[in-house]
Amino acid sequence: MVVEALLLANHAAADTWAWRTTRWFTGDQDAFVAADYHAAHLPTVAATAPLYDRLPSPMQGRFYKRTEKLWRLFRDLGEPYIIVGLMAILWTYDPRRWKAALILLASGALAGGVGALIAVTAGRYRPIVTDGLNRWELFRGFHPHAGDLSWPSGHATLVFALAAALTVLSPRGKWLFVTLSLCCATTRVVMQAHFWSDALFGAVLGWSIGWATATLLTRTTTTLPPPPRPAP
C-alpha cells in the first residue's frame, strides 16, 4: 500500500511515468505506434526529457507484437469464465468437492463485486484514453454506457482472489497460483488497459477478500470427526 500511495502521489506522476515507460518498452499496439509517437515528440524534447520521449523503443517497438499470444493467454486467467473451469477441477479432485467449488466461487464473486463497485465509484479513466495522465470523475461508472473504468483492475482483482482461495484450499500450490496471478496482472499494463497502481490495488484487494472469504468458509464448513469410542 506504500507503493500504491507513492504511485498516486503528486497527481500520479510516478504512475504516468511507469505506464509510459512500459508502453515505450513493449512497443506498438493498435492504439499506440511508437514511430508516430516519437516523430511527433523527438524534435521538441530536451535532453532531460523522460527516456520514452528521447529514445526509440527496444526491438523497434515490436516486443509486444512478437509475444502477444502469451500476454493474451495470461490475461484470460482473470476472465470470469475461468472460475467455471477451476470449480470443475475442484469438484473432481478436491475431497470437499462441491464445498471447495462454492468456496472458490464465493471468493471470486465477492472480490469481483467489491472491485466493480469501487471502479464505478472512483471513475478513473483508463490510461490509453488520457495518454497515461491521471484523471478521475467520481461516480462516473453509474452513468449509462459509462466505460473505460480503470481503478482497480478487474482482472487483477479476480485472479488474485482466486489465487488466495486456491492457496487456502491447496497450500502446496501457493507459489504457482501467485506467479500466474502476477503474470495476469502485468498483462493489464503491458496491454495498455491499466496503470500499475490499478493492477497493484486490484491484486491487494483481490487477495485480501479472497483469503478472508475462503478462510472463513473453510472453517465454517469443516466438520470434525466423531470422538473415538472408549475401549470396552
- What does the pLDDT look like over 191-221, one tens digit per residue? 999 999 999 999 999 999 999 999 999 888 6
- Joined together, the cell numbers standing for residue 2 give 506504500
Mean pLDDT, residues 124-136 taken together: 92
Residue 226 falls inside a structural domain = no
Give 161: exposed, middle or buried? Use CB within 10 Å, 0-12, 13-18, 19+: buried
Residue 198 falls inside a structural domain = yes
- Local confidence band at 40 (pLDDT 50, 70, 90 cut-offs): low
Q: Under 8 Å CB-to-CB from 52, ≥6 apart: which residues?
A: 20, 21, 23, 24
Number of domains comprising the chain: 1
- The residue segments making up the domain with residue 206 are 67-221
* 0.95 exceeded by pTM: no
pLDDT, position 172? 92
Residue 29 falls inside a structural domain = no
pLDDT, position 38? 67
Q: Measured on CA atoms in the order 62, 63, 67, 70, is the torsion positive or negative?
A: negative
Nearest to residue 25, comparing CAs of 59, 50, 73? 59
Residue 27 falls inside a structural domain = no
Cα 9 to Cα 205: distance, rounded to the nearest angstrom = 19
- What does the pLDDT look like over 150-186, one tens digit per residue? 999 999 999 999 999 999 999 999 999 999 999 999 9
- What does the pLDDT look like over 65-111, one tens digit per residue? 889 999 999 999 999 999 999 999 999 888 888 999 999 999 999 99
